[in-house]
Structure 1
């Protein structure tokens, strides 16, 4: 029989595995952008809609999560979410049209509520001394899922480029590679669904719904015997004003807007805006596209993506090691400062870049495009990537440009690619060490049990608006119409705003119970 501490870890790990599926979902699409653009004849904004499809679904999913997690419990809601991930993956792999693909990904977006649900559940079962690490498992699983998706996409692209025997034998080729990429999510989603049957219901949810005996039974599995009575007393005492019955969603929302909850609400809303507006969602979803800006083959871009993902994974592990030692506040402030410097490198790299085609450089393109069309652009130097790409697209057409973008950028780009690569690697490390895990840990801590069924999904809703829709939807448009310099400069400014807010408002929460944090924030 496992000890209570090991049980808490096991249950947290299972719930957090939804983050792994989420990581797969948001990154597998990055390997398909070129293919679906050509297959369905998509514009830059239409590509953005496909990539941001889950963000639209998440808006509805998070609203429903508040109701279902309060009405039917955290565990049953997680089971429904796992089923939605599975259906979404099947539909995305099958998709006969862009519209079908969008709605399949929209369905997966309904399941993005797994992130807020994981913070809610783990925050309710984790011992205070290890809550940071356990809630951080959600972010670790996301990053592992991201890395696995990047690795999978890389090997699929290599296999199709080289016509590997194993790929030919299973019917994998360039035209259907994107379907294999999106279908890779099916098996993990099914495994998560089955594993969730091991997890018990949250004892705090049981107590909130007047089931104190069951709550104590569940608490016994995750709390040391000597601390059991004290912990149960604190939970019951914190719920006294609800008469041991869950407040309605409307009542919870009204309570959330009271002066005693105001500081917690402000922290929750602002950090879930700042987190995606740093641009990490765009960097992750379009990383191969970003690296194609530097010049290089498609497989080279995917190889660089895998390298960045692997390094980022290491820093997520380091964050979990130090989060309960250094505390949330120092890591958040240090990570945002680090992100500012990193994005500064990326912005500077693109700012100093030039783009020019020469008679010698276009020779490599003669087998793919009529190079006579490019004659008006020869020896014309562009200092803006988006102006250069628009000029090329105007003379050879959008379809040809989308198909040859990597080769054209390789032929024309003069850039300190190492500076940009280091900046992106550094930015991902900073994000994975700080903003990535700390934001979800804070959400699991600053909201009292009475309102968390509304508060955490509400913050998740805000995160989905900015991270699931605004950032990935407009990123292709930004690159096409504003250029890389303005795009990454905007993300840098958002990091500066986040640093100033965190320094002024966010307190330290490590080693405190949810009830203790509630009292501290209510006094502000």
Structure 2
């Protein structure tokens, strides 16, 4: 191996290392997003939640993320990417500790929202930082480290929940509190990474410091070329972008792509799956332990196929992955729809004995021997025999005792859906968002798109408990399937390929003069 090749390898290792450190924010994001799935039963009982309260308790973290989205971009432009990420790490630690110790519903919500603000910052600023320090040939893979860490965080959360589920009557506190450990590690690690060289030049005009960082990344020649490209962009840079600039016709193509992909990433239901995975598998007739185990399999599938995406994103490209992923997601969601649609409900003596509310049990005994070929038909008859509160309890907790469904088919459909998302909308969206915005509007644009993405995600997670209770899983998955099909058509029509292009080349390609 030549001396030059050794230098290149060493520089690549340095770039990978700082990218991995920064991407730990993705780990915390993923962990925070998934850990609540195991705590749902515990917090519902402890805080005596209705469906609406539960939906907000789960989704409020996204509500906080919207605030983080709005603040993160402008703050990162003003104070630097690194400083904002350090604050983000502190917010994660505070949120984890406080939510684990909360004794009231309002207090719990506030703690979760604080973590949401951290999520809003991490999900936007970490990819921007990595995109700004990464050489073009590595950028797609390195930016995808953030998504990789998100799915690792999700998987670790599912494992953690499984091992803590029987850890006392208030095991949910341990589930939520353990996040403080990686948050503290992230906080300390961030002090070892450099500032973004692009930010140093564009905001502080610190060319010498930026050049030193770029030399560590790719050597002297790479540093000189990159500095010249950044300065060229600075020369043609206009005054700082404002919100009104996003609506200018020259940015129309960029905004259509960004807002469209941000919308479809969430409206197709991924966070409903991750936040409520055990609940979904219980809807398919699984026990509590088996549903937690199946959630672990979901997390591992997400992890494996995110690794596949990282391998393919700079080889196959962004658009092909989006097309393949959204197409397969549509098929998988239709499979889940058919599985729940073909389910039946049988009132056997053994099933009735599983009902843990005596009054509901007595009311249902006269149905012994009956069966129903749809959840709608079942609920129509059950509603007349129970009080409104008993009926809500039945729909939430008891109906799974009577379902006869191909649970394996449901599991396969969910795993296929998660795998397809993991190679497409999951990592590719954030890679695209970090690439397509010019420096002038990047801060405000990233915040607006991130806010919109979080708003859609909040809507999906807020309404999901109501959907399961009132529409049933059949229509819930059917709606997601329709949106996935529309996502395929959108990508085919509007999304462009950015593989192998510098950020400046992408800007020239997309902006209308």
TM range (shorter): over 0.9
Which structure 2 segments of 5+ residues have no match?
1-6
> Partner residue of 2:3?
none
> Partner residue of 1:432?
422
> Partner residue of 2:143?
135
> Partner residue of 1:516?
505
> Partner residue of 2:99?
92
Helix, strand or coil at the partner of 2:195: coil
> Partner residue of 1:164?
none
Going from structure 1 to structure 2, the CA distance change for 1:459 and 1:14 (only over 3 Å counts) comes to: same
Q: How far apart in 1 are the matches of 2:157 and 2:377?
A: 32
Contact 1:296-1:409 within 8 A present in 2 as well: no
Going from structure 1 to structure 2, the CA distance change for 1:369 and 1:72 (only over 3 Å counts) comes to: same
Contact 2:249-2:512 within 8 A present in 1 as well: no
Asked if residue 183 in structure 1 is aligned to residue 173 in structure 2, the reply is no
Q: How far apart in 2 are the matches of 1:148 and 1:72?
A: 32
Deviation string 1:224-266 (CA, Å, 9 cap, x unpaired) is 32222111111110111337xxx44xx3434433333221111
> Partner residue of 2:493?
504
Asked if residue 10 in structure 1 is aligned to residue 20 in structure 2, the reply is no
Q: How far apart in 2 are the matches of 1:366 and 1:181?
A: 25
Query: Which of residues 470, 476, 484 is equivalent to 1:481?
Result: 470
Asked if residue 472 in structure 1 is aligned to residue 473 in structure 2, the reply is no
Query: Which of residues 457, 463, 471 is equivalent to 2:453?
Result: 463
Deviation string 1:300-357 (CA, Å, 9 cap, x unpaired) is 1101111121122111111111111111111110111110110010001011111232
Counting only pairs closer than 5 Å after superposition, residues 354-433 of structure 1 correspond to structure 2 as 354-365=344-355, 371-385=361-375, 388=378, 395=386, 398=389, 408-433=398-423
Aligned residues between the structures: 503
Q: CA deviation at 1:211?
A: 2.3
Deviation string 1:73-113 (CA, Å, 9 cap, x unpaired) is 00000001111111110111011011111111111111112
Q: How far apart in 2 are the matches of 1:386 and 1:208?
A: 60
Instruction: Calculate the TM-score normalised by the size of structure 1.
Output: 0.91
Going from structure 1 to structure 2, the CA distance change for 1:360 and 1:6 (only over 3 Å counts) comes to: closer
Counting only pairs closer than 5 Å after superposition, residues 242-261 of structure 1 correspond to structure 2 as 242=237, 247-248=239-240, 251-261=241-251
Q: How far apart in 2 are the matches of 1:182 and 1:32?
A: 8
> Partner residue of 1:68?
75
Helix, strand or coil at the partner of 2:439: coil
Query: Which of residues 321, 324, 328 is equivalent to 1:331?
Result: 321
Helix, strand or coil at the partner of 1:450: helix
Q: Which moves more between the two structures, 140-149 or 482-491?
A: 482-491
> Partner residue of 1:200?
194
Q: CA deviation at 1:64?
A: 1.2
Q: CA deviation at 1:38?
A: 1.2
Q: Which moves more between the two structures, 357-366 or 64-73?
A: 357-366
Aligned-CA RMSD value:
2.2
Going from structure 1 to structure 2, the CA distance change for 1:380 and 1:402 (only over 3 Å counts) comes to: same
Instruction: Calculate the TM-score normalised by the size of structure 2.
Output: 0.93
Which structure 1 segments of 5+ residues have no match?
161-171
Asked if residue 26 in structure 1 is aligned to residue 16 in structure 2, the reply is no
Going from structure 1 to structure 2, the CA distance change for 1:221 and 1:369 (only over 3 Å counts) comes to: farther
Q: Which moves more between the two structures, 260-269 or 234-243?
A: 234-243
Q: How far apart in 1 are the matches of 2:26 and 2:374?
A: 37
